[in-house]
């Protein structure tokens, strides 16, 4: 899946050290909350507490991406059908594959899962991904493999030249609402990959906090 001419991204030492320090401290301080959420997810129904999926991050590197499970145990089996009938990014041509998939009024989400998603608490296990070095705190969202496979042309591959992250430019822009097109998301991802800096990361972090308080999910 990885294009042969995609150069390797090397994270700045300062950014990596900051990721390690912040993720370690956050996991320590949030450990009681993590245990409570784990118990609630366990009680919500069958399935694992932590949902793992294969994601493509920096340079198309594939890794296990962690989230608290917010859907029914058979969610992945239902995705293919829902992606053609309920995809926010779908067009009139429902047979055309879409690079991004977001299910409107997703019937797979559990009651506790809806709360976790609304508050972005389902994302907390990604701090382990940051600590492991799979991701950074700030970067372009790592994509499910079925999405990444559609983004291998020169126009789209630029986004993979930057770090993968928990939050980034498109997550704080319009809060991922329906009016944001796939082209806008790609443009924001490409912009971050080209111009990422400490100050841009700081700006994104500061804007992520109020964005999480809004109704739409980052």
Q: Which two tokens stand for residue 37?
A: 């959420």
Q: Check residue 152 and give its pLDDT.
A: 65
Residues facing residue 109 across a β-bridge: 71
Q: How confident is the model at residue 16 (pLDDT cuts 50, 70, 90)?
A: very high
Please say if the pLDDT value at position 188 is more than 70.
yes
Please say if the pLDDT value at position 199 is more than 50.
yes
pLDDT digits (tens, 9 = 90+) for 30-87: 999 999 999 999 998 888 999 999 999 998 899 999 999 988 766 555 555 545 444 4
Query: Do 141 and 168 meet the contact criterion of CB atoms below 8 Å apart?
Result: yes
Query: Do 76 and 101 meet the contact criterion of CB atoms below 8 Å apart?
Result: no
Give the Cα-Cα-Cα angle 209, 23, 169 (nearest 5 degrees). 40
Q: Check residue 4 and give its pLDDT.
A: 52
Give the Cα-Cα-Cα angle 145, 207, 120 (nearest 5 degrees). 50
- Sorted by where each begins, the domain ranges of the chain are 13-212
Q: Give the whole-angstrom CA distance, residue 112 versus residue 96.
A: 33
- Provide the 10 A C-beta neighbour count for residue 49: 14
Query: Do 98 and 83 meet the contact criterion of CB atoms below 8 Å apart?
Result: yes
State mean pLDDT over 183-196.
89
Q: Which two tokens stand for residue 25?
A: 């401290």
Q: Which two tokens stand for residue 172?
A: 């704080």
Q: Check residue 1 and give its pLDDT.
A: 52
**Residues, the chain, total?**
218
Strands 62-68 and 50-56: antiparallel
Q: What kind and span of H or E run contains 197? A: none
Which residue carries 């999405």 as its tokens?
147
Q: Which of 55-69, 70-84, 148-162, 192-206 has the lowest mean pLDDT?
A: 70-84
């Amino acid at each position: 899946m990885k294009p042969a001419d995609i150069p390797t991204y090397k994270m700045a030492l300062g950014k990596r050290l900051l990721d390690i320090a912040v993720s370690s401290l956050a996991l320590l301080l949030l450990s009681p909350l993590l245990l409570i959420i784990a118990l609630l997810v366990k009680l919500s129904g069958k399935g694992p507490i932590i949902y793992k999926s294969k994601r493509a991050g920096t340079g198309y590197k594939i890794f296990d991406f962690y989230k608290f499970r917010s859907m029914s145990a058979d969610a992945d089996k239902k995705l293919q059908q829902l992606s053609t009938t309920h995809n926010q990014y779908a067009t009139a041509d429902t047979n055309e594959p879409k690079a991004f998939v977001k299910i409107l009024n997703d019937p797979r989400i559990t009651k506790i899962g809806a709360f976790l998603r609304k508050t972005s608490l389902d994302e907390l296990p990604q701090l382990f991904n940051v600590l492991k070095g799979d991701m950074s705190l700030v970067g372009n969202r790592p994509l499910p493999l079925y999405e990444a496979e559609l983004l291998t042309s020169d126009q789209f591959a630029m986004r993979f030249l930057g770090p993968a992250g928990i939050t980034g430019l498109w997550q704080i822009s319009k809060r991922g609402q329906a009016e944001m097109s796939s082209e806008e998301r790609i443009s924001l991802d490409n912009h971050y990959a080209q111009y990422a800096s400490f100050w841009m990361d700081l700006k994104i972090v500061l804007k992520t906090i109020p964005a999480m308080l809004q109704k739409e999910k980052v």
